[in-house]
Amino acid sequence: MKIPKAIQNLIESFEKLPGIGSKTAQRLTFYLLHVPQGKLDSFANSIQNLKKGTIICSVCFSVDESDPCSICSNPSRDKSTICVVEEPLDVLALEKNGRYKGLYHVLHGKIDPLNNIGPDEIYIRQLIDRASGSEVEEIILATNPTMEGEATAMYISRQLKIENSKLKITRIGRGLPTGADLEYADELTLQRAMEGRSDY
Ligand SMILES: [Zn+2]
């Protein structure tokens, strides 16, 4: 028996997603076969509108419904502090406990030479430019405590020091388990890591 084309197409689409192998792709596809058409339509609709309904903030490069985003345009946020993270999901993780009142800068990745991602492939230049603004006093490096995250933090720190020696540069605290992703850390760990940040 040959697998119908429609099923094969969906399996292949799922396989392109991160963390989904061919077994999971097959399981998801066959699961969806049992879902009523109306629910499938609304699922497809959500995917279709994903990009149309979102915009990348031209200041911090976070993802939101407006540009500048709701954080950058909020007058009560502390503009003297910029927290640098790898992905938009990290912003959500840090915003969840609501203690941090500064701004963010989303790199959209990390320096990763094995995958051909150098400093110019992510939003580092834009951060250096932002940091040269007179309002900015502290840059918190909150990249993940992985090898690539550390290398990225180190690179950014060096660049920032070249441009502006007076800037306070801190690295998010050690409470985070090495190799972990920020987005998976629980709120308390994140809060402690933020409070326990040290000069870098
Ligand atoms: Zn923004």
Contact 181, 144 (CB under 8 A): yes
The dihedral sign for the CA sequence 174, 108, 69, 154:
positive
The dihedral sign for the CA sequence 58, 62, 63, 64:
negative
Mean pLDDT of the chain: 90
The pLDDT tens digits for 137-167 are: 999 999 988 889 999 999 999 999 988 778 9
Q: In angstroms, what is the span from residue 51 Cα to ligand 1's centroid?
A: 17
Which residue is listed with tokens 């998010």?
172
Q: In angstroms, what is the span from residue 97 Cα to ligand 1's centroid?
A: 19
Q: How do strand 63-64 and strand 55-56 relate by DSSP bridges?
A: antiparallel
Contact 61, 126 (CB under 8 A): yes
Q: In angstroms, what is the span from residue 193 Cα to ligand 1's centroid?
A: 23
Higher pLDDT, 111 or 115: 111
The pLDDT tens digits for 26-64 are: 999 999 999 999 999 999 999 998 888 899 999 999 999
Ligand 1 is an ion; residues with CB less than 5 A from it: 57, 59-60, 62, 68-69, 72
Cα–Cα distance measured from residue 183 to residue 189, given in angstroms and rounded to the nearest whole number:
11
How far, rounded to the nearest angstrom, does the alpha carbon of residue 183 sit from its chain's CA centroid? 8
- Using CB atoms within 10 A of its CB, is residue 18 exposed (0-12), middle (13-18) or buried (19+)? exposed
Longest CA–CA span in the chain (Å) reads 69
The dihedral sign for the CA sequence 88, 89, 90, 91:
positive
Average pLDDT over residues 129-138: 91
Return the pLDDT at 99.
87
